[in-house]
Amino acid sequence: MTELNQDPFDARWLNCLYGGKLAGRAKVVTDVFIFIEPLLEITLQDGSKTRKFFGLKRNCKTASIAKDDFVIFEWQRVGERSYDRKRDGEGDPEAIEIEVTSKEVAEELTKKFKGLLPSELREIWIKHLKRIVDRENSLDSLIEEEATNRTKNIKTEYDRKFQELSKSEEYIYEEMGRIDQSLQKSEQRELKIKELFKEIEPYRLAVPVKIENLSVSEALPLPEKVGTKWHSQLQTGDFCVSRNIANSFLLSMLSGFYSGGIVLLNGSVGVGKTSIVKHSAKLIGGSCAIIPVRPAWIEPADLLGFFDPIHEIFRPTSFLTALKNAETDRERLNLICLDELNLAKIENYASDLLSKLEYSREIRESDDLDGAGDANSLLLFSGDIETELWQVVKYLEEQQSLESNQKARQQRLQMFLQKWRSHQPVPQNMILLGTLNSDETTYDLSPKVIDRSYTITYPIADFNQLPKQVTNQVANQINSISSSKLRQVLHDGYKKNWDLVVNGKSQDWVKIQQWQSSYFAGVAELGTPLGYRTMKDYAVFCAIADWLELNPKEAFGHFLFTKILPRIKFFKDNQTNGLFQEWLKELKQNYKTYDPANILDRLERQLNDERRQIVRYWG
């Protein structure tokens, strides 16, 4: 223990006995500081003497303090000096809890200090130390008791978990026993299968290994006058459609086949959007697959499928299965329809498909699907995974003896890799379609999707327009359309019409250029401007119209409503209102015939509705 001196005003005595409560007199008072002279000289812990304390005005308990007022105060950090920022060192001791008192109280407190004798101070000091020791012993007892309780709780928890683990271990042993029994049964079944293989081995060699090519149909001559017969032969007892919708669908479907665009059937539920796809597939001798789109689709794997690394297999979707089936007969047209495609954002789950579909049509001279290469194929899973799995198969084949599970894995991997590659080519005989509703429950289409699309909007169902008599579909069925021959015919027609468009010899295309400069590329744009893809699509449209023997004006009217008007979207102001009113007048005068869904009237109502700030096709 440090020996204390006999000075009763030593800071260490004050610290342990009185907590630093002193009396003094205010000598300097400012708005911020107060300097106090204590009534007795104080010895600090470093042995120096002090006759001055300072305090902050905010630490005063009395609102008003004047010079020469008697005060009592407590010592901040008893026995030590405060830190002086100006001198960057020790300063005067700091006073806190300052309050004004009378001269008598201050002198009485000082007299009390002066009256203390060192012997009395030492007795009080010893009592103070005894209280500290007693408190330390009490704390030790509390710590020991707390440690005992915690140790007991930990042991109890450990015993409980040990019992749980013991029960889990028993369960694991039981499961291992059941697994062993299953393995024994599997080995017995494997032996039986081997015996069956020995019995059928003489007959297996007589069965061809690959039978896919057997389903490839012969490239038949193309049917004639498809355009003039299409509408009447499309009608059945349970399905009817207007001539404009039927011809617009035929033009758009064949354009999508050649250029790789998507045909969009827009309209309310129950108007026959899906039915026209099914009936058209039957009429041309093709196949049809309807793929319902789910709202939770957010990535390409939802549309195509995914690789299961645990079981080392690929899990395809119904869409990819339909895509794969299209490869088995490349001469038949295969219609694949995404039903209600805008229940989810098509840009999230089908952006790769739309790009690859268009690029796959760039190969014109060959039916070889592999000619497009991986760059123009859909990525199903990483090519590194495919390479690694082939290496595993090769390693298993090189082993002289394999266990039953290794043989099963080898066979499973071989079947998987023979059926699925990491990249799936897009068949050239595939036509992509989609149905959609434009309401508050669906997503809007982005401009890049609209630019790749042929949009056909259905009118509201009119029960008074149902035909009283319909033709027999079977008796008037169009012959099957050959994919390769149709592509060749359209390719020749496309080159001819492309030259007319590029050289400015197509009057209808010149009109589209004028519309582009007047309504889509000026200061006031009425929608998404036309691009080079539109120019190419128009040449394709004209080539198909020529083969179908349709009126050029009718083909132009259908192109207007499927490729140009769906781009309309603008905010209303005096300039855009005037431009659109001018254009509407021209369209109604010349092309109202090809507007079965009354799109022009609907756009005009939006223009005249003062409550609307925007005019849009998809509104």
User: How far is 56 from 74, CA to CA, in rounded Å?
Assistant: 13
pLDDT at 120: 62
**Domain-wise residue ranges, the chain:** 11-116, 246-449, 450-616
User: How far is 151 from 242, CA to CA, in rounded Å?
Assistant: 86
pLDDT at 214: 34
User: How far is 583 from 154, CA to CA, in rounded Å?
Assistant: 84
- pLDDT band of 289, cuts 50, 70, 90: very high
Q: 239-243, 275-279, 388-392: lowest mean pLDDT where?
A: 239-243
CATH assignment of 246-449?
Answer: 3.40.50
User: How far is 11 from 4, CA to CA, in rounded Å?
Assistant: 10
pLDDT at 224: 77
Average pLDDT over residues 188-212: 57
User: How far is 130 from 64, CA to CA, in rounded Å?
Assistant: 42
Q: Assess whether pLDDT exceeds 50 at residue 593.
A: yes
- What is the H or E stretch that residue 454 is in? strand 453-457
pLDDT at 590: 92
**Per-residue pLDDT tens for 221-258?**
777 778 788 888 887 656 788 889 999 999 999 999 99
Which pair of structure tokens corresponds to residue 279? 């009936």
Average pLDDT over residues 298-322: 92
Average pLDDT over residues 467-484: 61
pLDDT at 296: 93
- Amino acid identity, position 577: N
- pLDDT band of 16, cuts 50, 70, 90: very low
- pLDDT band of 525, cuts 50, 70, 90: confident
Average pLDDT over residues 349-367: 76
Q: Assess whether pLDDT exceeds 50 at residue 473.
A: no
Q: Where are the alpha helices (DSSP H) in 73-117?
A: 103-114
Which pair of structure tokens corresponds to residue 522? 């000026």
Cβ(28)–Cβ(35) below 8 Å: yes
- pLDDT band of 182, cuts 50, 70, 90: confident
Cβ(594)–Cβ(561) below 8 Å: yes
Give the number of residues written for the chain.
619
pLDDT at 337: 96
Q: Assess whether pLDDT exceeds 60 at residue 203.
A: no
What does the DSSP assignment read for 554-611? HHHHHHIIIIIGGGBEEE--HHHHHHHHHHHHHHHHHHGGG-TT-HHHHHHHHHH-TT
Q: Which residue has the higher pLDDT, 456 or 201?
A: 456
The three-class DSSP label of residue 616 is strand
**Per-residue pLDDT tens for 19-50?**
457 899 998 888 888 999 998 887 787 778 88
**Per-residue pLDDT tens for 87-135?**
888 888 988 889 999 989 888 888 877 766 555 666 766 777 788 888 8
- pLDDT band of 454, cuts 50, 70, 90: very high
Average pLDDT over residues 319-337: 90
Q: Which residue has the higher pLDDT, 125 or 267?
A: 267
**Per-residue pLDDT tens for 364-384?**
444 444 444 566 789 999 889
pLDDT at 469: 53
pLDDT at 133: 81
User: How far is 265 from 252, CA to CA, in rounded Å?
Assistant: 10
Pick the CATH number of 11-116 from 2.40.50.140, 3.40.50.300, 3.30.70.960, 3.40.50.620: 2.40.50.140
Q: Which residue has the higher pLDDT, 358 or 478?
A: 358
Dihedrals φ, ψ of 613, to 5°?
-100, -10
pLDDT at 163: 85
**Per-residue pLDDT tens for 159-172?**
888 888 888 888 88
Dihedrals φ, ψ of 86, to 5°?
-65, -45
User: How far is 562 from 123, CA to CA, in rounded Å?
Assistant: 107
The share of the chain scoring above pLDDT 90, in percent, equals 34
Q: Rounded to the nearest 5 degrees, what angle is found at the Cα of 448, between the Cα atoms of 447 and 450? A: 60
Of 98, 116, 251, the C-alpha closest to 560 is 251
Cβ-proximal residues to 382 (8 Å cutoff; 6+ apart), any chain: 307, 422
